Amino acid sequence: MTGLYYQSSDLNKTTNKNKLSSIISGDNFIYGISSKENNKLLSFKELPYFENNFFLDESKLKEIFSNNHLLENIEEIKIAILSPDFVFCPSELYTKESEHDLLKTVTIKQYLNDYSIETKFISHLNSYLLFLIPKVLKDFLKNNYDKVNFFHANEIFLSKYKFINSYENLLIANINNGYLQTAIYKNDQFRQTNVYNINNKEDILYHIISNLSNHSMPVNIADVILAGRLERESAIFKILAEHIKNISFIDNLDRRDFSNVFLGKSKHLFFDIYALSQCES
């Protein structure tokens, strides 16, 4: 889908400066362009199925950004990295010297000299989020834009649901573009967040059930809230509903069409749309 109000090329005909917010995963690039003046989302596009880890290839990045007119009239860019390569660390356990050792628990990519470490403090959870940014992507963006901010997708995922309370056993799952994001809350306290690569509905069921089991949250008692591009009639929802008693969608509504979401007529927020329009430092 593209051209919510304008296509990207049309936006370059104006003198107004815009900002671009994006989610990048292994082979997928989703972006939205919004007005710096009023934060109104002007266009949205999803570019799937590139060669895996396309963001390590500078020539591929130039081609993508040029072909989609993303090097003109963009003053600010915000990139959220959706990747399993991150660590969430309580502040009392974090030191600057421990960053590499913490990331060793989930990745060996830092030894390839292709990535740099980004560290963010998540104030409402009193914790640090450490994740890896491809150096080629980082250098390309900083060479082409005046202001660049990096995020991890789970940083935004958690900020979106920081208001959630009154659940003794809660798992939030965002299912989208070959990834499953999860967040665990127990007795109103945040416990854990993860990202998984998924290939089928059985993968999703396995990871959700495993998360619940690891935190002693029985499937007949725990609440599971779903986000993402997921229909109630889908095979994924049906298999989850067979095994989990209390399962629902965000705001307890089925997925609505994208135009309704953008126009504010639906209270059901998809994570990727939220990230595109609300990715803030």
Please state, for a pLDDT cut of 90, what percent of the chain lies above it.
Answer: 33
Shared domain for 50 and 151, answered yes or no, is: yes
Shared domain for 128 and 207, answered yes or no, is: no
Give the Cβ contact number of residue 84 at 10 Å.
Answer: 15
Contact 275, 154 (CB under 8 A): no
Buried b (16+ CB within 10 A) or exposed e, 198-237: beebeebbebbbebbeeeebebeebbbbbbbebeeeeebb
What does the pLDDT average to over 67-71? 91
Shared domain for 75 and 142, answered yes or no, is: yes
Shared domain for 217 and 190, answered yes or no, is: yes
Query: Using N-to-C axis directions, what is the helix angle for 271-278 and 153-160, rounded to 10°?
Result: 100
Helix (H, G, I), strand (E, B) or coil at 77: strand
Which of 39-43, 71-75, 168-172, 218-222 has the least mean pLDDT? 39-43
Q: Report whether pLDDT(279) > 70.
A: no
In which band, very low, low, confident or very high, does the pLDDT at 195 lie, cut at 50, 70 and 90? Answer: very high
In which band, very low, low, confident or very high, does the pLDDT at 257 lie, cut at 50, 70 and 90? Answer: very low
What does the pLDDT average to over 178-197? 89
Put simply, whether the predicted model's pTM sits higher than 0.85 gets the answer no
Shared domain for 10 and 92, answered yes or no, is: yes
> Is 98 among the domain residues?
yes
DSSP 49-60: -PSTTGGG-HHH
> Is 272 among the domain residues?
no
Contact 154, 129 (CB under 8 A): yes
Shared domain for 126 and 167, answered yes or no, is: no
Q: Report whether pLDDT(165) > 80.
A: no
Shared domain for 15 and 147, answered yes or no, is: yes
pLDDT in tens, 17-60: 888 888 888 888 888 888 888 777 777 788 877 888 899 899 99
Q: Report whether pLDDT(263) > 90.
A: no
Provide the residue range defining the domain that includes 184.
Answer: 163-253
Shared domain for 128 and 194, answered yes or no, is: no
Q: Residue 256 has what pLDDT?
A: 40
The chain-wide mean pLDDT, for the chain, equals 80
| Domain end position, chosen among 160, 177, 199 | 160
Contact 33, 74 (CB under 8 A): yes
Could you tell me the two tokens for 24? 């990048």
CATH number at residue 96: 3.30.420.250
> Is 128 among the domain residues?
yes
- Domain tally for the chain? 2
DSSP 115-161: EEEEEEEEGGGTEEEEEEEEHHHHHHHHHH-SEEEEEEHHHHHHHHT
Rounded Cα distance, 116 and 149, in Å: 14
Shared domain for 65 and 180, answered yes or no, is: no
Shared domain for 47 and 117, answered yes or no, is: yes
Contact 93, 80 (CB under 8 A): no
Rounded Cα distance, 29 and 137, in Å: 12
Contact 147, 76 (CB under 8 A): yes
Shared domain for 113 and 8, answered yes or no, is: yes
Which of 21-25, 112-116, 139-143, 170-174 has the least mean pLDDT? 112-116
Q: Report whether pLDDT(281) > 60.
A: no
| Residue 111 per-residue DSSP state | G
Q: Report whether pLDDT(278) > 60.
A: no
DSSP 36-51: TTT--EEEEEEEE-PS
CATH number at residue 195: 3.30.420.260
Shared domain for 231 and 96, answered yes or no, is: no
Q: Residue 255 has what pLDDT?
A: 40
| Domain end position, chosen among 127, 143, 160 | 160
